Chain A
Amino acid sequence: MSGTDGGEPLLEVRELCKYFSEGGGMLGGVTFDREFPFLKRQRGDVRAVESVSFDIEKGETLGLVGESGCGKSTLARTVLRLLEPTSGSVYFKGEDLASLSGEPLRRKRKDMQMIFQDPQSSLDPRMKVGPIVEEPMKAHGMLDEEGREARAKELLEKVGLDPQHYNRYPHAFSGGQRQRVNLARALSVNPDFIVCDEPVSALDVSIQAQVLNTMRDLQEEFDLTYLFIAHDLSVIRHISDRVAVMYLGQMVEIADKEELFENPQHPYTRALLDAIPVPDPRSGGRTALLTGDVPSPIDPPSGCRFRTRCPSLIRPAEYDMTDAEWANVVEFQRAVKRRSFETTNRAAVRQRHFADAEPGGEAGTLLDEAIGHVAAGEWEEAERLLTESFADRSVCATEEPAYEVSPTHGESRHYAACHLVRDDAVAAGEETELASSVGERFAGSADVGEADD
C-alpha cells in the first residue's frame, strides 16, 4: 500500500463498463409510432463506457480525446467512483476502488481530485476563495484553522494568484483566474492524481496558454499525475505524455504522444488528426473528412464500433473485387442508408456511384438487385440487402478488434483496436495480456471484470 515504485502504474483500469438504464419511471422508453399500436416501448441500456482498460503511470499525463458524447466524462467519473461502475475494476495504488465504499472510499478521495470544465459553476459564488480552497482540507481533517489559512495562501500564490485575494469572491475573478482557484482547491489535500475534465476549453486561447503552463509547472513541483480530458487535439499534444483515443464508449488507440500523432494506426485517430484545423492559411486545410454521425450507444454497431463511418472498412473475404469497386460499394451502401440522393432510374444510380468501377460476379448480382430496389423507391429493402450482404460480412463487423503494434516513436506500448493492423500486431492486445498481468498481481482481489458480452 505504501507508495508505488517508479514505473509501476498509479492507476490501472480493467474492463471498466458503465451502463445507464434508459428512461426509468412509468413512461420510460416509450416512443410514439406512426403505426398501430402507436406506442412503442423500448428498453435498452446506454452503454456509455464499455470494457475500457488502461494504465496511468506515476507522474505522467494521459490525454483522453474523443468527440462529444463518446463517454470521456463518464469514464473519468467512473474511474473516480463518482459514478458506480457496472462492472470492471479500477486499481488505484494497487487497491480496487470498485470494491471500496463508505468511509474507506471517502478517505481515498483525498488522493484523487477533479477539475471541471466550467470554472464558474464549480465555485460557490457565496464563498470567498480562501475558504473554498480550505474546504477539502477541512473535510479531510487536515491541519488546524491557522495552518489551513496559511496553506491556502501559499497555494493561491503557487497557482499564480495574489495571496491577498484570499478574501475575494469568485465573481471578482476572470475565467482563467477562477480555473486557477479550482487548481488550488484540488491541490489543497495534496493529491497524487487529478482528473482534469476539459479544464481549458471554456477559456480564450491566450488565457488557455497561461493555465496550461501553470498546470505543467505544478505537475513537476508536486509530482502530480493527470488524466487530462479534452476534445482539442492541439491542447492534448501540448500537455500529454501518452494519449488515449475514445470512440463511442471504447478505447480505439492508446500510444505515446509522438507515436500517436506521427504514426496513428486507427482510422478514427487518423480522421481526428486530419480534422484538426491548422492555424496556417497555406496548409491547404483539412483532408478526408469523416461523414455521418456517431451511432447511438444504445445499440452500438457490432465488432468495431467505428465501422459504420470508417473510410477503410475491410472487404469481406468471400467477394472478389478490386479496392476501387469495394470503395464504391461501401459509399453506395452508406448513401442509401442516409437517403442522400433522390430516387431515379437504374442508369442514373449506376452513373452516380459506379461510374469508374462496378464489381461483377456474386457481388455484382446482389448490387444489381439493390439498385433495382432503389430505383423502385424501396429504400428499406435496398438498405437491408446491402447491409446484410456487404457491411455485416466484413471482419470489422464480426470480430472485435484488439491489437498491439510495435511503436516507432517512444517505448510505451501502442494499442490499436483495428483489424487493419492484424498482420503487424505483436500481441493480441489489451484484453488477454493486461488482464492476465493484473490477475497475477492481484490474485487475491475479487471481481476482475465480469463484462457480459
Chain B
Amino acid sequence: MSEPLLSVENLKTQFFTEDGTVRAVDGISFDVHEGEIVGLVGESGAGKSVATSSLLRLVESPGEIVGGEITFKGRTLFGLEEDASGELRPRDDMLSEEEMRREIRGREIAIIFQDPMESLNPVFTVGGQLREFIELNRDLSEKEAKREAIDMLREVGIPAPETRYDEYPHQFSGGMRQRVLIAMALACQPDLIIADEPTTALDVTVEGQILEMVKELQTKYDTSFIWVTHDMSVVAEICDRVNVMYLGEIIEHATVDDLFYDTKHPYTRALLDSMPRPDETVHELNPIEGVMPEAIDPPAGCRFHSRCPDAREVCREVHPEPRDLADEGEPTHRAACVKYDAFDVGYDESRPIEGDAAGGFGAGLTRTGGEE
C-alpha cells in the first residue's frame, strides 16, 4: 500500500493531576490511508477523545503529549528527540504552534465534535460563521465565500439554504446543527476529518441520514476520516478499518469484516456480545463483568485481565503489545492477547484466574468512598 496519510507511532498523552499521573493514552500506533474511514472504538474512559485531540496538539494542561511521533503527509506534527543531556525536546522538524494553527487545523485536518451547540457560536448566524471560516481558510472574497457557504449548506441537506443562512444555531435542530458542522469541516476540503462521536446525541433516523450523507460526500471528495465512537453498529456501517481501545491502549486492529467475523481479543468479543440486537430477540444479555479500572492506576499485565473471561495467571504478569495475527497475504489483524500462540509466554500452562472478575460491582468502586 502507498504511504499512509497519517501515521501515529507509540503516542503517549498523560495528565499530571494531584492524585497522580493519568496515562490517558499509553502508546498507541495506527495509520490512516487516503480515502478510508478508520474507526476508533471504545467505552467511555478508554482515551479515544484524548487520542484525537493529541493528533491536533489540542491537549491542554495538565495534559501533555509525552512521547511518540505523529506524521501527516510527510510533515511532523509531533516528534521528540533526546538532546545532549538526555532530556527530551521537540525535534527541529516538528511544526510550530503557528504552523499548526495556520496550515493544519481546519485546513488540512478538520474535527467534528459530539455536541454541535458547543462548536457553534450562539450569537452569530450559522451562515456568517460558515462564511467567515471559508473566507479565512480559502482566501476567497466575502461574496464568493457566501456563495460557497450556501452551496455547502445545500450539499449537506439543509432545506432552503438561502433562508437558513441568516438563522442562528438555536433555530436549527440537533441533526441540522451537526450537518452545519460537517459542512464547515468539508468547506476547506481537508484531507482528513476527525469525527469525534458526531452522531451519538442524535436519533437513529437522523444518525442514519447523516452517516448516509457522510458516505456520499466521502466518495465525492475522497476525504479520509477518523471516526471515533462507542457504537459498534456505527463502526459496522461506516468504517473500513477499526482500532479498538481499552484503557489507553489499542488492543485490537483489523478490517471491519475481520473484527466482527474473526474477533481476536476477548474484550472486543465481550463488547459485541453485550449488545442487545435489533434484528433478533435475545433473552439474556452477556454483560462484561465489572467496570473499566481507572487510568491512573491501571492493572498490571494485560489491562483487561480483571474483567476477562479467559484470564490466566500469566495475564497478570505479562503486558502484551499488539501483534499481527493474520495469515500471510491477509490484511493486518493485530491483537494484544497472550492466549494466541504468537505471544508464546506460556498461556496454555498457566492457571485460570478465579474470583477476580466475579468481584463484580464492588470491584469497580473508586477508593475515595465516604467512610470517614
Contacts and interface: CB of A to CB of B under 8 A. Distances in A.
A207 B274 CA distance: 9
A4 interface: no
Contact of A180 (B159, B282, B361): B361
Contacts of A107: none
Contacts of B234: 277
B320 to A, nearest CB: 21
A6 interface: no
Nearest to A287: B208
A277 B208 contact: yes
Interface in A195-247: 204-210, 212-213, 231-235, 237-238
Contacts of B275: 205, 209, 234, 279
A271 B203 CA distance: 12
A171 B271 CA distance: 26
A162 interface: yes
B370 A234 contact: no
B154 A340 contact: yes
A176 B365 contact: no
Contacts of B48: none
A431 to B, nearest CB: 27
A237 B279 CA distance: 9
Interface in B257-311: 257, 259-261, 270-272, 274-279, 281-282, 284-288, 291
Interface stretch (B74-82, B101-109, B168-176, B344-352): B168-176
A168 B287 contact: no
A180 B270 CA distance: 22
A286 interface: yes
A290 interface: yes
Interface residues of A, number: 62
A173 interface: yes
Contacts of A209: 274-276, 285-288
Contacts of A275: 204-205, 207-208
Q: How big is chain B's contact interface, by range?
A: 35 or more
A285 B237 CA distance: 6
Q: Which of B231, B260, B275 has its CB near the most chain A CB atoms (within 10 A)?
A: B275
A376 interface: no
Contacts of B237: 277, 281, 285-286
B212 interface: yes
A340 B291 CA distance: 47
Given A209-B286, A282-B257, A237 B274 contact: no
Contacts of B256: 281
Contacts of A263: none
B360 A213 contact: no
A285 B271 CA distance: 20
A436 interface: no
A34 B163 CA distance: 12
Interface of B: 43-44, 154, 157, 159-163, 173-176, 203-209, 211-212, 230-237, 256-257, 259-261, 270-272, 274-279, 281-282, 284-288, 291, 360-362, 364-366, 368-371
15 contacts: A177-B365, A205-B230, A205-B232, A205-B274, A209-B274, A209-B276, A238-B276, A275-B208, A278-B279, A279-B233, A279-B236, A283-B279, A289-B212, A290-B205, A338-B160
Given A177-B365, A281-B236, 20 more contacts: A168-B369, A174-B291, A174-B364, A205-B271, A205-B275, A209-B275, A209-B276, A209-B288, A212-B276, A213-B287, A234-B278, A237-B276, A238-B282, A277-B233, A279-B260, A280-B260, A286-B211, A291-B209, A340-B159, A342-B154
